[in-house]
Chains A and B, each alone.
Chain A
Amino acid sequence: MIYRLSHKTIFEYSSPVTFVYNTLHLKPRPLPWQSVLSSRLTVLPEPATLSEHIDYFGNVATFCAVEDKHEQMQVLIESEVEVRPRAISSQSGLAWNEVLPKLQHSTLDADLDAFQFCFDSAIVKRCKDALDYAEPSCANGRAAHDVAIDLMNRIHTEFTFDPVATNVSTPVEEVLRTKRGVCQDFAHLMICCLRSIGLPARYNSGYIQTAPPPGKPRLQGADASHAWVGVYCPANGWLDLDPTNNKPADEQFITIGWGRDYKDISPVSGVMVGGGKHTVHAEVDMIPETEFSQSQQQQQQ
């Protein structure tokens, strides 16, 4: 499936900003199942510096500095991305409790890379509550990936999607207590549970195609950026699971990249001089090729 993706973020400040320095994680990374056909980044006001590099996790990162005084900043990324079905590992997996001892002594590149996702990170700290929550999914001898799928299933069933219940700094313990949150909370919670039982888990940032209501046209800007979880087993590699929608990531998912948690891969993070309070507004359009002509007509009208 080919998608046309447009993601616009608008920052408005209550007082002028003299400088802003940003790290952007907006450009999807090339993957075995994902090709980036084109990608164009526009920042307004015109940045003094805009340079791209590959970060420690292999994601495409852009350093961007705006040095003109401004009261509003717009970041727009327009990409064309092809997503193909992912290869499924046919290997039989390791039991969940065999994974960590295996990783500790492995010298394989892939294992070593996965190992770093076992530990506490800036936002996700392993805790007793998460361990207790994960426990019912950890049947003796159950394969690591099956444990993760069961966890995803339970989070999806037991938690309510609620955009006003949490904010960026809501701790996992509170999400567990209120059983409410958004995709980011569910992803962090699931990562926390997986790491608490010794499985490597990472945070994926990207987009998911949403279906418009039957018979209705797709609304512009109605989509949002999305987050889901990757879990690793030395025998099977990474498996991407979306606890918000209770399914493995498939062709409906565009991956920007991943990190230990949101902090490693947040779409825009930065530091500014001045600015007072700021508000953020984002518009995401993810249009599948089947609707290309339709959406063009819509735009012409």
Chain B
Amino acid sequence: MNDLTHSYKPIAGTYSELMDTNGAVRPQWKPMLNQLNAYGTTNISNRWSRAQRVIAQNGVTYSAFDDPKDTRRPWELDPIPMIISPDEWDFISDGLIQRMHLLNTMLADLYGDQQLLKSGTLPSELVLANSAFHRSCCPINPVDNQYLTMLAVDLARAPNGAWRVVKDRTQTPSGAGYALENRLVVSRTFPTMFRDSNVERLAGFFAALRDRLTELSPRKNQSPRIVILTPGMQSESYFEHAYLSRYLGFPLVQGNDLTVRGNQVFLKTLGGLRQVDVILRRQNDSDCDPLELNPASILGVPGLVQAAASGEVVIANALGSGLAETPALLPFYPMLCRRLLNEEPKLFTVPTLWCGQESEMNQVLKNLDRWVIKRAFQDSHDHTLFPQRMLPEEREQLIHDIKDDPRRYIAQENTALSASPCWVDGQLVPRHSMLRAFVVATRDGWKVMPGGLARTSSKTDSTVVSMDRGGGSKDAWIPARGEVSRLSLLPKDGNEIKLSRGEDNLSSRVADNLFWLGRYVQRAELQTRMLRTILRRLTEETIPDGTPELPELLKTLSVMTNQKPVDGPILDPIQEMDRTQRYLCNVIFNHDLSSNLHHALGNAGRIGALVRDRVSMDTWRILDRLDRELHSVSPDDELTDIHDMLDDLLVPLSAFSGLGFESMTHGYGWRFMDMGFRMERAVMNALILSELLVQPQAYEAPVLDAMLEIGSSSITYRTRYQSNVAIYPLLDLLIADQSNPRSIAFQLELINEHIRELSNLPRLGQLPEQIKATELVHFVEGFDLSLVTAVNAQGRRDKLESFLNTIVERVESLSVLITERYLSHAQSTQSLTSLTGGDRHPEEFR
């Protein structure tokens, strides 16, 4: 009956999760295999391709998002869960709890009175010469002496079937969110199989985490404010941070969103400072406080160590916990377990030797090929060396290095990993696998997540699996012995939720991002309109008099994008078609320029991803589409193709403001976004008008036509005036007409309204920018445009020029005022040092 296992061949020399040594399927796998066989190969494959689309749409990614090469990697999930029997799981759970207890007790000693060092139990240089031991964290006294609120442990199964610990993750134990997402995808894809397999649920683990974080709050009498601190988008697991934030209901913040005042930590919101009680941090110890930890870190919160030491804020895991990740400590755990807990260790570690001890070093050197060599302290990232794969001279060098400074190295046994069945090309094949398990502290003990994040390697000879190197993942199922407990974190009762209409908690950083999102989208739109106007003239034979306005348009484009054509201005674009085309493609596609269309679209997309939880799904889809639209053609394509692309691009760009208006609540977040949008439009329009109209050509009509096209006001003009274009009515329509949504006056009116609404935020009142915004509206309203159409002796409309310049300057100064008042926290910090040793030249000090 077990069709799917017919062709399954376990990997020689490794433990097979699926089959025993006789090739019989292990009992815990049977119910699932029966279900899989019932689904059938085609059905499984169809369901799985649907599931993969869901993963892509949910935007589940792992790895960075910070360069033009777009390194976001979609999350790789295998549909076949790893199954661990309940008896075996009980054993693993006990071992994990013991390990959590042990690491926690050790941390309490090493950050406390260091009896382990004073008694000579541990070689003291493991701590004293360890950069993961943060002396400034010694005054921190965690609640209940719990340094670790959460622990992740990487487990691997040796060929003899025994589970062993490969690595402990104590600073930012990541992966639990991915495990949950895996569970949701797999259980939705195979609902019957999931239900009938009676699998232990994961929600209880997250409920325990949420409860524990709530209990940790130092302010007992009120509901605590709990935040998740993320390093931001550059973090490889940013998706998980955002995911946990939504799932647990705690806001996701970055270092810049927090500030220490007194000994308290506050979240900077538009409504003012809000005290934070508990921080679930997802950044490394050294990145958390540039004052007391790594001064070069731009991710941290200055004073956080001090605040944590005062007990006014609780940070989970406690700052300094990374010490327990020191590889050189691994060999000492069995001994520490007996000494500190008075227990025999239940889970063993992968055999590890620290070369800092003489006999251990000799043991390693005697049989070097048996070992994998790693750094003893986590000074550098994964520096794993495989002596048996080395050239003779590399080996000699390694031996020399170890002898030279033995304490810097550990040796670990090169264990073969067990293999689990994976779904590859419509059949089950074995892949090496590991399991990351999770433990959370509770009030009276610890709780293990029943399951975890299984990881697989696509190579058949792997011994070390790491997601950084492109492995896959799996759900892990523990069949329940009895009825599974069903628990959901969704709110139970409507009446428990307080009604809230404000956006008091909107952080300044999010507001800043929304502001710039608005500016970049509008910048992209106007550049696209300008480019389209130019390309249309280059590709269509519509105008009998030729296109005398083209050089003017190109000049204006160069001002808008801050990018001049190479080898001087293009005087006759039609004659110099090659140069013109090269220049235009540069402005559209070149990703090394800092203010062209590619840059504006790229920034809109990047910022859009940062504020994804603040804009509607439809708006997000628009932003997601911009980049794809741009790359649907290449610089080598025909100009007509590029022109069509610009046409297509204008659809989502124009839809952006409408969607924002319709689908975002008109709270402060929306106001910042729209204000950025309006400011950009006002400034850019004034700039374009100034470039095109201040120095009029002998025959101005084609320029005026182009101006109307860029301002997308041609139709309005024609319906109103039914005649050739003239300067005065055009200026009226594009500058002063408050009923034209493209006019400068229209933008200024909305900016004024936004600023007025923002001043309703608590404790603000009449503000200088409010006065200035209103003044600016009146200035434009009261201006007699008929006075600025005349040219002076030099042939310039100097009055128009100074009028438009005034508008640009005043809007930009409003932008500065707004940024200073609400958004200046987004500024980064720098370090300050004094000097010792006499009168050195001050500038030599950073």
Q: Which residues of A contact B (CB under 8 A)?
A: 9, 11, 18-23, 48-49, 51, 53, 55-57, 63, 65, 67, 104-105, 107, 109, 112, 115-116, 118-120, 163-164, 166-169, 182-185, 205, 224-227, 262, 266-275, 277-282
Bound complex: CA of A274 vs CA of B819, how far in Å? 13
Q: A167 and B844 in contact (CB under 8 A), knowing A270-B832, A272-B830?
A: yes
Q: A270 and B291 in contact (CB under 8 A), knowing A226-B836, A227-B837, A275-B830?
A: yes
List chain A residues, Cβ under 8 A from B834. 9, 266-269, 280, 282
Q: A116 and B136 in contact (CB under 8 A), knowing A49-B262, A168-B844, A280-B834?
A: no
- Taking a contact as CB atoms under 8 Å apart, the answer to whether A273 and B840 are in contact is no
Minimum CB distance partner of A11 in chain B: B832
- Taking a contact as CB atoms under 8 Å apart, the answer to whether A105 and B120 are in contact is yes
- Taking a contact as CB atoms under 8 Å apart, the answer to whether B290 and A107 are in contact is no
Chain B proximity of A10: nearest CB distance (Å):
10
- Residue pairs across A and B with Cβ atoms less than 8 A apart, 16 shown, are A19-B302, A21-B260, A56-B136, A57-B135, A63-B306, A163-B841, A167-B845, A168-B835, A168-B846, A182-B838, A185-B837, A224-B837, A226-B836, A226-B837, A268-B834, A273-B824
Q: A163 and B840 in contact (CB under 8 A), knowing A51-B263, A112-B118?
A: yes
Between A and B, how many residue pairs show CB distances below 8 Å? 153
Minimum CB distance partner of A224 in chain B: B838
| Total count of chain B residues near the partner, CB < 8 A | 49
Bound complex: CA of A107 vs CA of B119, how far in Å? 6
- Is B842 among interface residues, defined by CB-CB distance under 8 A? yes
Bound complex: CA of A205 vs CA of B837, how far in Å? 10
Q: Which residues of B contact A (CB under 8 A)?
A: 114, 117-120, 123-125, 128-129, 135-136, 138-139, 259-263, 290-292, 295, 302-303, 306, 309, 824-825, 827-846
Minimum CB distance partner of A167 in chain B: B844
Q: A269 and B832 in contact (CB under 8 A), knowing A21-B303, A118-B129, A224-B837?
A: yes
Among candidates A116, A205, A269, residue contacting B129 with C-beta atoms closer than 8 Å: A116
Bound complex: CA of A18 vs CA of B826, how far in Å? 12
Q: A183 and B837 in contact (CB under 8 A), knowing A19-B259, A118-B129?
A: yes
Bound complex: CA of A29 vs CA of B260, how far in Å? 27
List chain A residues, Cβ under 8 A from B114. 112
- Taking a contact as CB atoms under 8 Å apart, the answer to whether B835 and A271 are in contact is no
Q: A272 and B833 in contact (CB under 8 A), knowing A112-B124, A164-B840, A164-B841?
A: no
- Taking a contact as CB atoms under 8 Å apart, the answer to whether B261 and A48 are in contact is yes
Among candidates A116, A185, A273, A277, residue contacting B827 with C-beta atoms closer than 8 Å: A273
List chain A residues, Cβ under 8 A from B837. 163, 182-185, 224-227
Chain A proximity of B141: nearest CB distance (Å):
13
Bound complex: CA of A104 vs CA of B358, how far in Å? 13
Determine the main DSSP class of B at the interface with A.
loop
- Taking a contact as CB atoms under 8 Å apart, the answer to whether B840 and A167 are in contact is yes
Q: A116 and B128 in contact (CB under 8 A), knowing A266-B834, A282-B834?
A: yes
- Taking a contact as CB atoms under 8 Å apart, the answer to whether A271 and B830 are in contact is yes
- Taking a contact as CB atoms under 8 Å apart, the answer to whether A280 and B831 are in contact is no
Q: A227 and B836 in contact (CB under 8 A), knowing A21-B303, A270-B831, A273-B829?
A: yes
Bound complex: CA of A166 vs CA of B832, how far in Å? 18
- Taking a contact as CB atoms under 8 Å apart, the answer to whether B836 and A266 are in contact is yes
- Taking a contact as CB atoms under 8 Å apart, the answer to whether B836 and A21 are in contact is no
Bound complex: CA of A51 vs CA of B493, how far in Å? 46
- Taking a contact as CB atoms under 8 Å apart, the answer to whether A271 and B829 are in contact is yes
Bound complex: CA of A206 vs CA of B824, how far in Å? 38
Bound complex: CA of A267 vs CA of B136, how far in Å? 16
- Taking a contact as CB atoms under 8 Å apart, the answer to whether B120 and A119 are in contact is no
List chain A residues, Cβ under 8 A from B260. 21, 65
Most buried by A among B129, B139, B303, B825: B303
List chain B residues, Cβ under 8 A from A11. 832
Bound complex: CA of A138 vs CA of B138, how far in Å? 37
Bound complex: CA of A63 vs CA of B833, how far in Å? 14
List chain A residues, Cβ under 8 A from B824. 18, 273-274
List chain A residues, Cβ under 8 A from B842. 279-281
List chain B residues, Cβ under 8 A from A53. 139, 309
Most buried by B among A22, A63, A119, A275: A63
List chain B residues, Cβ under 8 A from A19. 259, 302
Minimum CB distance partner of A48 in chain B: B261
- Taking a contact as CB atoms under 8 Å apart, the answer to whether A269 and B263 are in contact is no
17 other A-B residue contacts (CB within 8 Å) besides A119-B129, A168-B844:
A11-B832, A20-B832, A48-B262, A56-B138, A65-B260, A112-B117, A116-B128, A164-B840, A167-B840, A167-B845, A168-B845, A268-B834, A269-B291, A269-B834, A270-B302, A272-B829, A274-B824
Q: A56 and B135 in contact (CB under 8 A), knowing A48-B262, A119-B128, A271-B830?
A: yes
Chain B proximity of A11: nearest CB distance (Å):
7
Chain B proximity of A22: nearest CB distance (Å):
7
Bound complex: CA of A282 vs CA of B833, how far in Å? 12
Q: A271 and B302 in contact (CB under 8 A), knowing A120-B129, A168-B845, A168-B846?
A: yes
Most buried by B among A268, A271, A279: A271
Q: A183 and B846 in contact (CB under 8 A), knowing A56-B135, A116-B128?
A: no
List chain A residues, Cβ under 8 A from B124. 112, 115-116
Chain A proximity of B299: nearest CB distance (Å):
12
Bound complex: CA of A51 vs CA of B262, how far in Å? 9
Minimum CB distance partner of A54 in chain B: B139
Q: A224 and B827 in contact (CB under 8 A), knowing A107-B119, A167-B844?
A: no
Bound complex: CA of A53 vs CA of B262, how far in Å? 14
List chain A residues, Cβ under 8 A from B139. 53
Minimum CB distance partner of B136 in chain A: A56
Bound complex: CA of A49 vs CA of B265, how far in Å? 13
Bound complex: CA of A274 vs CA of B824, how far in Å? 9
Chain B proximity of A142: nearest CB distance (Å):
25
Minimum CB distance partner of B114 in chain A: A112
